[in-house]
Amino acid sequence: MRKVGFNNKLLPYILIAPQLAVTIVFFYWPASQAVWQSFLIQDAFGTATEFVWLENYETLFKDPSYFNALVVTVVFSTAVAALSLGVALLLAVQADKHIHGAGPYKTLLMWPYAVAPAVAGVLWLFMFQPSLGVLAKQLRGMGVDWNPLLNGTHAMILCIIAATWKQISYNFLFFLAGLQSIPKSLIEAAAIDGAGPTRRFWTVIFPLLSPTAFFLLVVNVVYVFFETFGIIDAVTHGGPAKATETLVFKVFQDGRLGGDLGGSAAQSVILMFMVIALTAIQFKYIERKVHY
């Protein structure tokens, strides 16, 4: 047997260097910057900087608005992850029924399903617009005083819907690919074994889909934690009365607008550890129940 390998000891390092550089420049460097910043306090004019150890963190934990943001984040992320995964799965199951074995043009058939949520997202926002929106009017007709500009719950619902719609297409494509990779004969075997469609779904299809679902769960949680900032900024600006101010939005609000760089950095650091912890927990506990 001839052993195939690198003769040049340097070559492997050269090959991973670009990847390493990207990780350092875009993750480790800003992350360590954030950690460093979180130990500092700058005065309002940015002229004096003082090293204060954990004072920024202490202030943060004493701040009731920080806990408000935490609660908002938990509600928001749970709702968005559950809804976007649930709705995407439902759509994918429906699409899969029509697409099974449909041949080369199935990719084309898939597009409406994939694109619809994004288009619909915009429509939803229009429809819920308090003064002009069709749905808003209808809700008001039903006796609901729909006003996301004043009512925190309404604002939250609006943010959840907007963030969810944005994520559905992505989840949908993964779920559909997962469904398509389940051999048809398995479903048929279950049908012959006497399982109806619902039972087949929960005992055969869903367990086989769980690796996909798990992967999407991780991706979605990271998405809600970090990337929904833009949506909240566009839809509610975190209001009314901080009702939709999530942790990530608060980082932006305090850092950019409030000028509290140290406090904002401390928040980022906490957020970063939260996501690392969440992902670790997900891998440790949920993955164990996932059937590959």
Partner 1 sequence: MAEVSLKQVKKSFGAAAVIHGIDLAIADGEFLVLVGPSGCGKSTLLRMVAGLEEATEGEISISGKVVTRLEPKDRDIAMVFQNYALYPHMSVYDNMAYGLRIRGLNKEEIDQRVKKAAESLQLAHLLDRKPRQLSGGQRQRVAMGRAIVRQPAVFLFDEPLSNLDAKLRVQMRIEIKRLQRSLGVTSIYVTHDQVEAMTLADRLVVMNAGKAEQIGTPMELYNHPATLFVAGFIGSPSMNFFPANAAGGTLELPGGQRWTLSRQVAAQGDVTMGIRPEHLTLAGANSPAGHAILPLYVELIEPLGAETLVHGRLEGGKAELTARVDGEAAPVKAGSTMRFAVDPRHLHLFDRTSGARLQ
183 lies in the binding site for partner 1 (CB under 8 A) = yes
CA distances for 156 relative to 111, 121, 237, angstroms: 30, 15, 11
99 lies in the binding site for partner 1 (CB under 8 A) = no
Least distance (Å) from partner 1 to the CB of residue 91?
A: 24
What distance in Å separates the CA atoms of residue 76 and residue 159, rounded to the nearest whole number?
A: 8
**Nearest CB to partner 1, comparing residues 97 and 237:** 97
Q: Candidates 116-124, 150-158, 182-190, 280-288 — which segment interacts with partner 1 by CB under 8 A? A: 182-190
Least distance (Å) from partner 1 to the CB of residue 68?
A: 42
CA distances for 140 relative to 125, 137, 150, angstroms: 16, 5, 14
Cis geometry, peptide bond prior to residue 12 (ω within 30 degrees of 0): no
Least distance (Å) from partner 1 to the CB of residue 178?
A: 13
Identify the residue among 1, 44, 192, 257 touching partner 1 (CB under 8 A). 192
Q: Candidates 4-12, 54-62, 66-74, 199-207 — which segment interacts with partner 1 by CB under 8 A? A: 199-207
Q: What is the Cα 240 distance to its own chain's centre?
A: 22
Least distance (Å) from partner 1 to the CB of residue 187?
A: 9
Q: How many residues bind partner 1, per CB under 8 A?
A: 18
- Taking CB under 8 A as the rule, which mask of x and - marks residues 208-237 in contact with partner 1? x-----------------------------
**Nearest CB to partner 1, comparing residues 92 and 205:** 205
Token pair 């059937």: residue: 291
Identify the residue among 195, 218, 272, 286 touching partner 1 (CB under 8 A). 195
Rounded to 10°, the helix 106-128/152-180 angle is: 180
Q: What value, to the nearest 5°, has the Cα angle with vertex 66 and ends 64 and 68?
A: 75
What distance in Å separates the CA atoms of residue 56 and residue 113, rounded to the nearest whole number?
A: 47
> Regarding beta strands 49-51 and 40-42, do their DSSP bridges make them parallel or antiparallel, or are they unpaired?
antiparallel
Least distance (Å) from partner 1 to the CB of residue 204?
A: 6
What's the token pair of residue 287?
A: 């993955």
Are 260 and 192 in contact, with CB atoms under 8 Å apart?
no
199 lies in the binding site for partner 1 (CB under 8 A) = yes
Q: Candidates 79-87, 150-158, 188-196, 264-272 — which segment interacts with partner 1 by CB under 8 A? A: 188-196
The binding site for partner 1 (CB under 8 A) comprises: 183, 185-186, 188-196, 199, 203-204, 207-208, 291
